[in-house]
Copies of this chain bind each other. A is one copy, B any other.
Amino acid sequence: MDTHPSSSVLRDSPAPDGLRCAPDPSRALSWRAVSGIEDWLIGRIRRRLGEAPVRLVLWNGTEIPLSTGPVVATVVIHNAGALWDIAVDPDRRFGDAYSSGRVDVEGDLLALLDSASAGGSSGPSRARLVFRWLAGNTFSRSRANVHHHYDIGNDFYRLWLDDQLVYTCAYFPTPDATLEDAQVAKMRHVCRKLALTSGETVVEAGCGWGALALYMARHYGVRVKAFNISHEQIEYARRRAAEEGLSAHVDFIEDDYRNIRGPYDVFVSIGMLEHVGREFHETFGRIIDRALDPRRGRGLLHFIGRNQPALLNAWIRARIFPGGYPPTLHEVCESILEPAGLSILDVENLRLHYAKTLDHWRRRFERASDRIRAMFGEPFVRAWRLYLTGSEAAFHTGWMQLFQITFARGTLNDLPWVRPDGGPAVMR
């Protein structure tokens, strides 16, 4: 997977004599026991990771603790090429090195990804910057695997998503709610924020397997047009609508969101804006404006965002995650909602709910990992493990956010007087 020309030299060359030693506790306590180019490479890693509670172990057994305190995980580097990769270009190569097994993590992968940020202060602290390549970018690059592997099929997702195949952040009325209940609670939460009324029309941009569109029609008596470019998901959603007798109320349309017209009473988009890309924000805003009834129109955007603007790594943007961009709140307001004259009614940050959602997904994924390994092989399992774990760490440490924005036409006064409560009642 790694084709960087410089690294192949190292990978195939024997390690210097200084590294051929058997593990020696007295020497292993100091990374200075390693010398030569490996010495320089480990220095680079050390400068990036600082005092992280991590131990490195090289292919020859040399142990290199990065801090004097307790260690949450050991990163085992199986050859010099992998050391080169993660030392000189971790943003691009850690994921591949881990997925292919050239690097292992022993101990608690989540704690490893999580711990360096736990003591963070305001602003992009050193520890948080350091762990971008683990938490931030591996999230994005591995999210890309989702796209890369979207032809994996529904059977794969059925192994670890909830029973309705909702592949976006859930809403846990209480922390110990089940994933199934939390996905239903999320749909209810969205519908209550939108104050849906029977007979209204809704358009959904990016409907996944159709759970929200069906929920809205079933519980709120609205008519929904739901857009998605995935043929397989649309087919699945249509079958479900037919089985539940909702085909007359929900149209699943296999088409791009840019072909949405209007007018509708409500525009909703869950987990799509972060894939739209910054350069299409203005277009997205114009689509919303065009789609919404000029008087009653209102809507909700649910998306992965950030606290501060940051571009994804150029290689990831170009090769792995084309066009993806988790925006800040200011960018969404400035480029999408303000130009359309829309009024922001409500914003909620659900990042801890996404961390918990990912925790559920990760545990279910691990329980199904034998079957997944049989279907797709070990590197696939490792890539997905890193993706799910890195994503959980990114939300848990505050590196990524999950925003729900409710908005309306600026003159709409027929709005809920106060917020619906955020209480634990779950309707199914």
Are A419's CB and B338's CB within 8 A?
A: no
Give the residues in chain B near A344, CB-CB below 8 Å: 307, 329, 347, 349, 401, 403
Judged by a CB distance under 8 angstroms, whether A381 is at the interface is no
CA distance A105 to B253 in the complex (A): 54
Known: A328-B333, A349-B346, A413-B352. A340 touches B123 (CB 8 A): yes
A415 within 8 A of B: yes
- List the B residue with the shortest CB-CB distance to A346: B348
- What is the 8 Å Cβ interface bit string for chain A, positions 102-144, against chain B (1 contact, 0 not)? 0000000000000001111111100010000000000000000
CB distance from A357 to the nearest CB of B (A): 14
Residues of B within 8 A of A123 (CB): 289, 340-341
Counting chain B CB atoms within 10 Å of each CB, the highest count among A171, A173, A307, A411 belongs to A411
Residue ID in chain B nearest A289 by CB atoms = B122
Q: Does A421 contact B (CB under 8 A)?
A: yes
Judge if A14 is at the interface, Cβ distance under 8 Å.
Answer: no
**When the two chains form their complex, are residues A330 and B334 in contact, meaning their CB atoms are under 8 A apart?**
yes
* Given A307-B342, A333-B330, A338-B308: A398 and B422 interface contact (C-beta under 8 Å): no
- Residues of A8-38 at the interface with B, using a CB-CB cut-off of 8 Å, are none
| Binary CB contact string for chain A from 285 to 322 against chain B (1 if under 8 A, 0 otherwise) | 00001001011010000000001110000000000000
Instruction: Evaluate contact between B122 and A340: CB separation under 8 angstroms.
Output: yes
Q: Does A174 count as interface, using CB distance less than 8 angstroms?
A: yes
Pairs A–B under 8 Å by Cβ, sample size 18? A117-B411, A122-B289, A122-B297, A123-B340, A329-B330, A329-B333, A343-B351, A343-B398, A344-B347, A344-B349, A346-B347, A348-B419, A352-B417, A396-B413, A398-B411, A398-B412, A419-B422, A421-B423
Beyond known contacts A124-B341, A421-B421: 5 more, CB 8 A cutoff: A118-B411, A122-B342, A308-B338, A343-B398, A346-B348
